[in-house]
């Protein structure tokens, strides 16, 4: 029987708490569904590691991770460590080294969850945002000269290659074709202001669209898209955006379906030539770390995404149905969803439901 080797990076803040519940639920689902065993290896990398060693992860971390089938990450971030160190010391190196070019972030309004938007029925908000994940505005190209002087200059460049842009747009179109989707792709840019990178993105989008005549298309400026995420989120199906715009839009998307505690994501290498990394969209939430208040559902749904990517369809379905059931019934809700349940109690309820 195949064994799935999973690298587990619990990370910082609430990361270890939600990861623990995610692992409990995934392993139970695999057992109940007679799925392949999960072989887990934990790595204590992150902000505490940085405060001790001066790096977010060891120099050979990428070589170590390369042998795994997938990476399961909790969260990284600590008030004692600058955010750019966290991002460029762990998250971006992993995404780039393993060519995880498609960041997949589902946005779905579950039955029993109240959207902050008025009169939104369950299931009416059902979209997937595909965020370009390895270049764009997070390419880390630029620099500073004359630091600390009145003439200091900072330059930050966005990098858009035809290869990188076309493949992530094509990934979005392929997803829109899948059963259950509405065969529509919306591209998000700011091409009225950014005449080079964003106009280029628009051109590539139109070229790729010709290969998918059955898929409806539209392009929106990012400011318009933000308004429409609030005004008419039902109009979106598959959304594709650059690294920065995809990051911003998915936080807004999470809030309109109940909050960051319900927002899973996957950093995908579609070829599976390298491991993909799965992480809840929320941060490390240091203000509630260790208090048992963190909502583990985003991490649990992220685990379901990982199992789906690994070919474990039965376990994936079991977890998602259990999550939908406890949300619909209003059981075991953490404070962010208006309840008083503790993190572990949500995991317990899911295990009982399965």
Distance of CA 51 to the CA centre of its chain: 26
User: Is it the case that residue 122 has pLDDT exceeding 90?
Assistant: yes
DSSP string, 122-154: TTS-EEEEEEE-SSEEEEEEEEEESTTSTT-EE
- pLDDT per residue over 200-231, tens digit each? 999 999 999 999 999 999 999 999 999 999 99
- Evaluate if residue 331 carries a pLDDT over 90: no
- Residue keyed to tokens 């998000």: 188
**Contact, 125 vs 108, CB < 8 A?**
yes
CATH, range 126-256: 3.40.718.10
For the stretch 252-302, pLDDT in tens is 999 999 999 999 999 999 999 999 999 999 999 999 999 999 999 999 999
Domain coordinates in residue numbering, the chain: 1-100+261-354, 126-256
| Residues 16, 38: Cα–Cα separation, whole Å | 18
Evaluate if residue 1 carries a pLDDT over 80: no
The whole-number pLDDT of residue 77 equals 95
Q: 1-100+261-354 has which fold?
A: Isopropylmalate Dehydrogenase (3.40.718)
Three-state DSSP class for 267? strand
Q: What is the C-alpha separation between 247 and 185, in angstroms, rounded?
A: 17
Q: How do 102-108 and 136-145 pair as beta strands?
A: unpaired
Whether the CB-CB separation of 145 and 166 falls below 8 Å is answered with no
CB atoms within 10 A of CB 247: 19
pLDDT surpassing 80 at residue 238? yes
**Looking up tokens 């909050």, which residue turns up?**
259
Indicate the burial class of 326 (C-beta count within 10 angstroms; 0-12, 13-18, 19 or more).
buried
Active site residues: 146, 190, 223, 247, 251
Residue 164: pLDDT band by 50, 70, 90 thresholds? very high
Average predicted confidence (pLDDT) for the chain: 96
Tell me the chain's radius of gyration from C-alpha atoms.
Answer: 20
pLDDT digits (tens, 9 = 90+) for 137-163: 999 899 999 999 999 999 999 999 999
Mean pLDDT within 35-50: 97
> Are the folds of 1-100+261-354 and 126-256 the same?
yes
Residue 199's pLDDT band, with cuts at 50, 70 and 90, is very high
Q: Is 137 left (phi over 0), alpha (psi -120 to 50) or beta?
A: alpha
Q: How confident is the model at residue 116, as a pLDDT?
A: 95
Contact between 307 and 28 (Cβ < 8 Å): no
């Amino acid at each position: 029987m195949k064994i799935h080797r999973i690298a587990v990076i619990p990370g910082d803040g609430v990361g270890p708490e939600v990861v623990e519940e995610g692992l409990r639920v995934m392993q139970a689902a695999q057992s109940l569904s007679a799925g392949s065993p999960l072989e887990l290896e934990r790595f204590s990398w992150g902000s505490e590691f940085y405060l001790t060693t001066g790096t977010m992860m060891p120099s050979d971390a990428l070589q170590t991770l390369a042998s795994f089938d997938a990476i399961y990450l909790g969260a990284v971030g600590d008030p004692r460590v600058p955010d750019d160190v966290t991002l460029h010391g762990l998250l971006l190196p992993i995404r780039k080294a393993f060519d995880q070019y498609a960041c997949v972030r589902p946005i779905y309004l579950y039955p029993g969850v109240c959207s902050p938007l008025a009169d939104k029925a369950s299931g009416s908000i059902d979209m997937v945002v595909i965020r370009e994940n390895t270049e764009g505005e997070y390419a880390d190209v630029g620099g500073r000269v004359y630091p600390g002087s009145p003439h200091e200059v900072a330059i930050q460049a966005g990098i858009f290659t035809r290869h990188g842009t076309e493949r992530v747009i094509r990934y979005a179109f392929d997803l829109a074709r899948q059963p259950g989707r509405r065969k529509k792709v919306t591209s998000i840019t700011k091409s009225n202001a950014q005449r080079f990178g964003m106009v280029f993105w628009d051109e590539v989008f139109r070229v790729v669209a010709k290969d998918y005549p059955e898929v409806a298309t539209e392009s929106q400026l990012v400011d318009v898209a933000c308004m429409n995420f609030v005004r008419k989120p039902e109009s979106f199906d598959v959304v594709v955006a650059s690294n920065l715009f995809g990051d911003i839009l998915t936080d807004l998307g999470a809030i309109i379906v109940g909050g960051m505690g319900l927002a899973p994501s996957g950093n995908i290498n579609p070829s599976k030539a390298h491991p993909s990394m799965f992480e809840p969209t929320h941060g490390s939430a240091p203000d509630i770390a260790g208090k048992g208040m963190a909502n583990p559902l985003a991490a649990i749904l992220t685990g379901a995404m990982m199992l789906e990517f690994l070919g474990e369809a039965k376990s994936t379905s079991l977890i998602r149905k259990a999550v939908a059931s406890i949300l619909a019934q209003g059981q075991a809700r953490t404070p962010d969803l208006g309840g008083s349940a503790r993190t572990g109690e949500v995991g317990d309820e899911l295990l009982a439901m399965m």
